């Protein structure tokens, strides 16, 4: 697949780049995409949820009434989960939601995500650029040039650029990431992925060769 190279003004530079088929044209695997997204979201969970169970609720442990002869159900203390203010039955406890995934599985998920973006024509190659000063208006103008002001966009760079990062941080629905830090979830949830030429080179170095 050939893609046109644009400058930051959205102008065609008259050059084309060929996307590496081993990255952007594989047989997508939906199941590993689901697994990787699940893994990413699970790893983001704090897992600090906690509710008090019967033994942890503050209250008297005195038996409320005699065991038999009242005509009603047995009742222990006021901390009984059946009573208002009692403990919770099998309430949530702090836990770690992380689970392990093989590197090759995660790699396949990312390549599948890249392939879907390429098939949907949601990848744009941009000539590397930077700003003289970290102005939000400059980055907003850049997005406007590509008609992405009201869409979710992801700019993929080879190395962090402080001016670009500062200029973009107050603009909603846009994100800047290093090519080496890309994950399946960020790739999938963006409407348009803007790739620096240098970032495309990094991706080819990372994913261009098939693993045995």
CA angle 14, 20, 23 (to 5 degrees): 135
Kindly report the CATH number assigned to the domain that includes residue 127.
Answer: 3.40.1370.10
Cα(194)–Cα(157) distance, integer angstroms = 9
> What average pLDDT does the segment 17-46 reach?
94
| Token pair in block for residue 18 | 């060929």
Q: Which of 96, 116, 136 is the endpoint of a domain?
A: 96
- CA torsion, ordered 74, 75, 80, 84, to nearest 10 deg: 110
Same domain, 116 and 167: yes
Same domain, 50 and 143: no
Cα(185)–Cα(178) distance, integer angstroms = 14
Same domain, 166 and 180: yes
Cα(37)–Cα(186) distance, integer angstroms = 9
> What average pLDDT does the segment 84-94 reach?
93
Cα(51)–Cα(81) distance, integer angstroms = 12
In terms of residue numbers, what domain contains 62?
46-96
The 10s digit of each residue's pLDDT in 117-126 is 999 999 999 9
> What is the pTM assigned to this prediction?
0.81
Cα(5)–Cα(11) distance, integer angstroms = 8
Place of tokens 């009692």: 86
CA dihedral (112, 113, 114, 117) positive or negative:
positive
Same domain, 128 and 192: yes
The 10s digit of each residue's pLDDT in 55-75 is 999 999 999 999 999 999 989
> What average pLDDT does the segment 162-170 reach?
94
Predicted pLDDT of residue 192: 95
Same domain, 85 and 173: no
Predicted pLDDT of residue 208: 78
State the pLDDT confidence band at 100, using cuts at 50, 70 and 90: very high
List, edge to edge, every strand of the sheet that includes 174-178: 12-18, 2-6, 123-126, 192-196, 153-157, 174-178
Predicted pLDDT of residue 212: 44
CA atoms within 13 A on the CB side of 131: 20
Same domain, 30 and 60: no
Same domain, 9 and 77: no
Checking if the pLDDT of 2 tops 80, the result is yes
């Amino acid at each position: 697949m050939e893609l046109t190279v644009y400058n930051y003004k959205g102008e065609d530079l008259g050059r084309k780049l060929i996307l590496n088929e081993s990255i952007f044209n594989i047989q997508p695997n939906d199941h590993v995409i689901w697994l990787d997204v699940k893994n990413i979201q699970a790893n983001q969970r704090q897992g600090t949820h906690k509710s008090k169970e019967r033994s942890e609720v503050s209250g008297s442990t005195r038996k409320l009434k005699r065991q038999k002869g009242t005509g009603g159900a047995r009742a222990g203390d006021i901390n009984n989960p059946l009573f208002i203010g009692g403990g919770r039955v099998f309430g949530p406890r702090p836990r770690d939601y992380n689970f392990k995934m093989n590197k090759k599985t995660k790699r396949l998920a990312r390549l599948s995500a890249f392939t879907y973006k390429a098939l949907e024509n949601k990848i744009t190659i941009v000539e590397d650029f930077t700003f003289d000063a970290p102005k939000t208006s400059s980055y907003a103008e850049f997005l406007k040039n590509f008609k992405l002001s009201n869409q979710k966009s992801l700019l993929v760079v080879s190395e962090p650029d402080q001016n670009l990062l500062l200029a973009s941080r107050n603009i909603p629905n846009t994100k800047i990431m290093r090519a080496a830090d890309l994950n399946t979830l960020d790739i999938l949830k963006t409407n348009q992925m803007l790739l620096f030429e240098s970032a495309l080179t990094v991706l080819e170095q990372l994913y261009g060769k098939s693993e045995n």
